[in-house]
Amino acid sequence: MGVLAMSEESNIDLYRRRFLGATASAAAGLAVAPGVLLTEVASAKPDDQAVTSDVRWGMLIDTNMCNNGCDDCVTACNEEHNLEGFGRPSTDAQWIRKVTLKDKHTGFVQTLPMLCQHCEHPPCVDVCPTGASFKRADGIVLVDKHICIGCRYCMMACPYKARSFIHEQLHDQVPYAPRGKGTVESCTFCVHRVDEGITPACVEACSAENHNAMTFGDMNDPDSDISQQLKQYSSRQVRADLELNTGVRYRGI
C-alpha cells in the first residue's frame, strides 16, 4: 500500500514536470520579451524535491523604466494574495509599495517599488526569537507562521520596513498564501509561483503592460537574463552600506 502510494504521488508530479517542460518548449517559440516568458525562471523544480542553494532568486528593478504614476506591481500583488485592506492605511498590510523619491538638493524625482529585499544576511532572521523568520536555501526569506508568536521584533529590525503585522481577524485567505491575525508577513517572492516555475505576480504584471522595469531570475545562473543584466549594467542595493547582500537590486538609483 505504501509503495503504491509513493509511486502514485511521484507520477502526479511526473506529469507536472512534463507539462512544464512541454510549455517551456512551446513557449520558447512564443517569447515576446524577457519577463513574459513564464518559465524563464529556470525549469520548475519537481514537487518532491527540496530547494537547494544552487539557485539564488533575485530581482532587478530598473527605476528608469518605472513610471511615476503606475502601481501595477502593487495591484497585482494585492490581488494575487488577496491582501484585503480594511481602509486603515496605518495597519493594513503592504507587501510591495511604490515609493516616490525626490532628491533634497537637486529636485530629481523618481519612483520605485520597495519590497522585501530577501537579503543574504537578513536582520529579520537574526532577531526572530523562535526562528519563524527564516531564509530558504534558495534565498527566499519567509515567515513560518506556524511558529511566529507575533512579537514584531523582525519589524523593528528590518531596514526596509518590509514587514507587516496582521492586526485583525481574516476570513478570505487564498489557499497558497496563508495569513492570519497576530502573525507577521512580508513579500514571499511569490514562492508558490516560483516553485511551479512561474514568475512573481508583480514582475508578470509589469511585463504584461510592457513597462519591463522588473526582471526576476536565478542570480546563480550566469546565463539567466537577470545575471546578464546585472553584469552588463550598473546596479546597486538599497542601503548597500549595511552589507546585507540583498536579492533585490536597482538600476538608476
Partner 1 sequence: MKQLEFKEIDGGKPFYMMLGFMGLFILAALGAAWYMEHNGHWVTGMNNQIVWGTPHVFAVFLIVAASGALNVASISSVFNKAAYKPLARLSGLLAIALLVGGLAVLVLDLGRPDRLIVAMTYYNFKSIFAWNIMLYTGFMAVVGIYLWMMMERKMNRFTRLAGFSAFIWRLVLTTGTGSIFGFLVAREAYDTAILAPMFIIMSFSFGLAIFILVLMGMYKWSDRPLGDSILFRLKNLLGVFVASVLYFVIAYHLTNLYITENHGVERFILLDGGVYTRLFWIVQIGLGSLLPLALLYHPATGKSRGWIGLASLLVIIGGLAQMYVIIIGGQAYPLEIFPGKEVISSFADGIVGSYAPSLPEVILGIGGVALALAATFVGVRVLRFMPASLADEDVDPHYSATEAEATA
Partner 2 sequence: MIKYSLITLIVSLLLGVYTPGLAGDASSDEASGAGPYIPKAQHRYSEEQGCVEPTGDMRANHMKYLLHQRDATMHEGIRTERHSLHECINCHVSDAADAPRVDSEKHFCNSCHTYAAVTIDCFQCHADRPVKTPFESRLEEGDQTDETDANPAAAPAPEQLRDNGGTGNE
| Contacts to partner 1 by CB under 8 A | 74, 86, 88-94, 97-105, 114, 123, 125-132, 147-153, 155-161, 163-169, 181-184, 238-239, 242, 253
Helix (H/G/I), strand (E/B), else coil: 94: coil
Q: Report what 67 binds from partner 2, partner 1, none; CB cut-off 5-8 Å by kind.
A: none
Least CB distance to partner 2 at residue 53 (A): 12
CA nearest neighbour of 248 among 162, 174, 163, 166: 162
CA atoms within 13 A of residue 135's CA, in its CB half-sphere: 21
Least CB distance to partner 1 at residue 133 (A): 8
Residues in the chain: 253
Q: Where do we find the cell 505576480?
A: 201
CA distance 46 to 75: 30
Question: Between residues 185 and 204, which has the closer beta carbon with respect to partner 1?
Answer: 185
CA distance 45 to 55: 11
Q: Report what 86 binds from partner 1, partner 2, none; CB cut-off 5-8 Å by kind.
A: partner 1
Question: Between residues 54 and 126, which has the closer beta carbon with respect to partner 1?
Answer: 126
Least CB distance to partner 2 at residue 191 (A): 7
Q: Report what 202 binds from partner 1, partner 2, none; CB cut-off 5-8 Å by kind.
A: none
Q: Which three cell numbers stand for residue 100?
A: 516616490
